[in-house]
């Protein structure tokens, strides 16, 4: 009762303009806090979605045949070596050509296993500034952002891992045999492809392609939003 009486005595001393000013400042602070919380939620949600893409989809690539039996990401002969593939098959060396393709995919499967932490670390670098634009963007906006922001640094880190993997799975031995065999054929233009560069780029393409699959899944399938943060954040996208 005393508090109510005190408030009644104070209010008349505040002009209408002062009251509006106080109310406006209070509203501004409330909106700022709400906006800040929403932005933090959006950033957290996008990071969780991309992390889910890595754990749910990219991890599949590290299994035996993860690349080789996945038509969406399977690594084939480099375009400039299509003639090598055709020539080997024409002269009865299809088995060697098939071994070469399998070896490239095995190298990618092994390399991605070692490089997954690099992708997880890169996801942490998504900024608050970019978060809302990504959320309201296309169905692969988060993946495209991650790809454009990290491909150069990821290549630099991933390339030596691929090179090591090529040796680990014996792809270097198989491809040395393939190239040596091809280059002994009369009248052919000798070839010497950079397999490490090729497998690195193809493996990166495969990784981002599979992250896109999971991002699209989360954006379009409510049941794929397996946490409160994902449900809250992507509900905002649904309302756009």
- CA distances 110 to 1, 107, 166, Å, are 75, 5, 9
Q: Which domain holds residue 100?
A: 17-238
Structural domains in the chain (count): 1
| pLDDT tens, residue by residue, 15-55 | 555 434 443 443 343 333 334 345 657 888 888 888 888 88
- Poorest-pLDDT segment among 92-106, 132-146, 185-199: 132-146
Question: What is residue 108's predicted lDDT score, i.e. its pLDDT?
Answer: 93
8 A C-beta contact, residue 177 and residue 99: no
Most confident segment among 12-16, 71-75, 77-81: 71-75
The burial of 178, by beta-carbon neighbours within 10 Å (0-12 exposed, 13-18 middle, 19 or more buried), is given as buried
Of the CA atoms within 13 Å of residue 12, those in its CB half-sphere come to 4
10 domain-assigned? no
| CA neighbor of 114 nearest in space, from 87, 173, 170, 154 | 154
**Greater confidence, 226 or 61?**
61
1 domain-assigned? no
Question: What is residue 37's predicted lDDT score, i.e. its pLDDT?
Answer: 46
120 domain-assigned? yes
| C-alpha to C-alpha distance for 211 and 142, rounded to whole angstroms | 9
Name the strand (E) or helix (H) holding 200: helix 195-220
| pLDDT tens, residue by residue, 153-191 | 888 888 998 999 999 999 999 999 888 888 888 888 888
Average pLDDT over residues 75-87: 86
| pLDDT tens, residue by residue, 198-217 | 999 999 999 999 989 888 88
105 domain-assigned? yes
Question: What is residue 238's predicted lDDT score, i.e. its pLDDT?
Answer: 66
Question: What is residue 154's predicted lDDT score, i.e. its pLDDT?
Answer: 81
8 A C-beta contact, residue 112 and residue 62: yes
Question: What is residue 35's predicted lDDT score, i.e. its pLDDT?
Answer: 42
| pLDDT tens, residue by residue, 103-114 | 999 999 998 887
| C-alpha to C-alpha distance for 55 and 39, rounded to whole angstroms | 24
5 domain-assigned? no
73 domain-assigned? yes
pLDDT at 56 over 90: no
């Amino acid at each position: 009762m005393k508090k109510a009486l005190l408030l009644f005595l104070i209010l008349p001393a505040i002009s209408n303009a002062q009251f509006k000013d106080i109310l406006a400042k209070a509203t501004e602070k409330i909106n700022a806090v709400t906006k800040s919380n929403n932005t933090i939620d959006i950033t957290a949600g996008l990071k969780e979605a991309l992390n889910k893409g890595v754990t749910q989809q990219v991890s599949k690539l590290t299994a035996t045949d993860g690349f080789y039996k996945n038509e969406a990401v399977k690594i084939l002969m480099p375009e400039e070596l299509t003639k090598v593939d055709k020539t080997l098959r024409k002269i009865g060396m299809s088995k060697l050509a098939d071994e070469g393709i399998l070896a490239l995919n095995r190298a990618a499967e092994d390399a991605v296993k070692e490089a997954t932490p690099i992708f997880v670390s890169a996801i942490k670098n998504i900024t608050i500034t970019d978060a809302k634009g990504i959320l309201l963007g296309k169905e692969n906006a988060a993946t495209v952002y991650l790809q454009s922001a990290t491909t150069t640094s990821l290549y630099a880190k991933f390339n030596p891992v691929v090179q090591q993997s090529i040796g680990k799975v014996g792809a270097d031995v198989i491809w040395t045999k393939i190239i040596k065999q091809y280059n002994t054929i009369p009248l052919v233009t000798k070839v010497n492809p950079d397999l490490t560069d090729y497998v690195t780029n193809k493996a990166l393409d495969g990784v981002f392609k599979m992250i896109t699959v999971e991002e699209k899944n989360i954006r379009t399938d409510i049941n794929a939003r397996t946490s409160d943060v994902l449900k809250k954040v992507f509900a905002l996208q649904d309302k756009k």
